[in-house]
Amino acid sequence: MPTHDLYADRPGDSPWQVPATGAARFSWEYDDGRERLLALYQKGKDKQWDARTRIDWDLEVDPYDALGTPEEAMSLYGTPHWAKLSEKDKGELRRHYASWQFSQFLHGEQGAMICAARIVESVPDLDAKFFSATQTMDEARHAEIYGRFLHEKIGLVYPINDNLRSLLDDTLRDSRWDMPYLGMQVLIEGLALAAFGMIRDTTSKPLPRQILTYVMQDEARHVAFGRMALRDYYKQLTEAELREREEFVIEGCYLMRDRLRGVEVLENFGVPKAEAEALSERSEFLRLFRKLLFSRIVPCVKDIGLWGERLQRAYVDMGVLELGDADLELLMTQDEELAERLDAERFAAEERARVAEVEAAIESGAAGD
Ligand SMILES: [Fe+2]
Ligand SMILES: [Fe+2]
């Protein structure tokens, strides 16, 4: 079915066009790649996988409770609106929230694919182009997966959130080659990764857990790449140039914290916009969620050397400064291990089923003698 028929609201013009301003850069040096970047490129090639076969698409999903979200985690919970909802309405509200969340993941992944391709085009060094080419493929796979999940399992798609769209627009329009990294790999992907992780670690449903676990395995490489490339580059920038990047980060962080909350969903359930915003502000669960959303961004920003006073003050204001001390390396290693463990568990379960089948066949054969 065309996605057009599944949109909860009108998605705007398609294709959405963002004019490009940067140069395409060729490098004629084919033999001076940085070892760590080339190792990451090798890993990117080794760890390619096929979403059609690695994910068990036969697993059933209840679209009205796709993630097993507890009631208290719904922003309407405990309000007069909640009391008025029938059980059927509550299921519908869950479906819209899951759709909204995974639709932002989907559009974000398309953005990541386009940004990665832009990096292939604009980054000066060949080692970084090589890695970004593998990332472009990873992001295509992620968009494929989220699109399939929404089409087959949820049956409802939300348009891209206006603020996410404007951040993507700023990121892609900028002619400086490091801006797609900063906007996309550090901010948008950092935010997405934290959201993936929270769902992966809390959902009781096997299909979304599989999807998020495997996607996060790839994302760990993307984060490592963004950090390496930007850390090297930002060492060469002037104080003024660094401050410009910090301003961009501060603005982006506030925008995502305050404006990416699924207010659109509540509006579709008849809650006026201002009230919907106030409700998301008030919800204890969402407040915690918003703080955790920065768990991947803050340590990364600190690590690449954007840690000026203004930025630190903004993070104090958001209550997330101490996240800067988180061990990003460890988090990413865990993301990769979780995916490998899940593969091993699924393989062992299949093996057990196969052995049981053979034993049953032997037994029935023996009984027939
Ligand atoms: Fe991705
Ligand atoms: Fe990514």
DSSP per-residue string spanning 155-200? --BPPPPHHHHHHHHHHHH--STTHHIIIIIIIIHHHHHHHHHHHH
Ligand 2 centroid to Cα of residue 120, in Å, is 14
Please check whether residue 142 is in contact with residue 104, taking contact to mean a CB–CB distance below 8 angstroms: no
Ligand at shortest distance from the CA of 110:
1
Q: What is the pLDDT of residue 281?
A: 78
Q: What is the pLDDT of residue 283?
A: 73
165 residue type, one letter: R
Ligand 1 centroid to Cα of residue 218, in Å, is 7
Ligand 1 centroid to Cα of residue 235, in Å, is 27
- How many degrees, rounded to 5, is the angle at CA 296 between CA 295 and CA 302? 100
Helix boundaries (H) for the chain: 35-46, 51-54, 80-84, 87-122, 126-149, 162-173, 179-180, 189-202, 206-234, 239-259, 263-268, 273-282, 284-292, 297-303, 309-318, 328-368
Q: How far apart are CA 125 and CA 150, in angstroms?
A: 37
Ligand 1 centroid to Cα of residue 117, in Å, is 13
Cα–Cα distances (Å) from 234 to 184, 297, 363, in that order, read 16, 17, 68
In the predicted model, residues of the chain with pLDDT beneath 70 are 368-369
Q: What is the pLDDT of residue 68?
A: 94
Ligand 2 centroid to Cα of residue 215, in Å, is 8
Helix, coil or strand: residue 125: coil
Please give all residues whose CB falls under 5 A of ion ligand 2, grouped by chain where several chains appear.
112, 189, 219, 222
Ligand 1 centroid to Cα of residue 335, in Å, is 14
Q: What is the pLDDT of residue 232?
A: 87
